[in-house]
Structure 1
């Protein structure tokens, strides 16, 4: 008579093991995206490469939503070629505003401007303009529906949407500020996963929620016509 041998393994994989595995896979995805983002940015000589490379990174994270497997290099290369010109046209003016705001803050903090109420006002304007332009760039990077619009329409949406979802955009600004500060002290972290983590954070906070908001607005407009 044959007897069944009792199973000696665990009845199911512990939850913490599953969560740990998911975290490792996510870090590995961010690492691969950052490497490809760096290569594509260099391929575009930075000026013409950062914007489409960032869009390509966001598309990779969108494709990997809900744990789906994604070929990072193939996905990002296809997206990079499609958005090489359009992403640069849409984002470069906002990036110039970012650079100007950062330069003004650097001058004020470094003592290059006389201290006084006017310096405080200029510093406040630099912070607001830098933060808002960063949020607008994040919208153009992570929301495909905005990217598909005409240039003027996409600019208008990118500028106005931060006011429609204030809590998410405030969370993004604070998260990016903390991450930038951390990367400034740990430069190997910035090299390996800096850009990928920032784009992943923006995609997680803005991408799907902003798409749903725009869909609701379109349905409301269609219902009133």
Structure 2
């Protein structure tokens, strides 16, 4: 079936209808199984454990800001024209809200407001979310495709942690997408998190460093010396 010009592309529709930040039914027995990624090629929400089977697909990480779902502006601009959408800064990255955030207002004063949901905005923005801009374009231009961009590859941010199955129920390892085991200077890109359930100890270090069970046992069993009372005068 050929998609008409006034329709939304399938990946855009999936951002609205997919349920994010819910447990993944495929990996419900794993840790970190929260579905916070949207596969734009499969039009489905996936968890970090699902990334291995979607590595050749366009992946968009979904984040949360003030209890609403957002995406990085840098990623969204690769997919469509994001001009006039107000962006917000979290963790040194600009993000854009996906869905509308209606704001009830009986009377409009002087100021700048969203074209779709009347939310107060900063100058010169006229859309508070991606959904508001899409509705505005479809209403006034009747065609969304001139605002879309050709994007063949879209990968997760380099600091995104991918779970690695170690085969040990007491240990879960997380590696970054930008990890490079051949580089000794990439101290921030070669990062791993090792979690021990029994000891409750969190260790963060370079991939080249090895932490043995003996070292952790020694650090956990270390005790202070016997306290001595001060002499009486």
The TM-score with structure 2 as length reference comes to: 0.25
The TM-score with structure 1 as length reference comes to: 0.25
Structure 1 or 2: more helix by fraction: 1
Q: Greater CA radius of gyration, 1 or 2?
A: 2
Structure 1 or 2: more strand by fraction: 2
The higher relative CO (CA closer than 8 Å, separation ≥ 6) is in 1
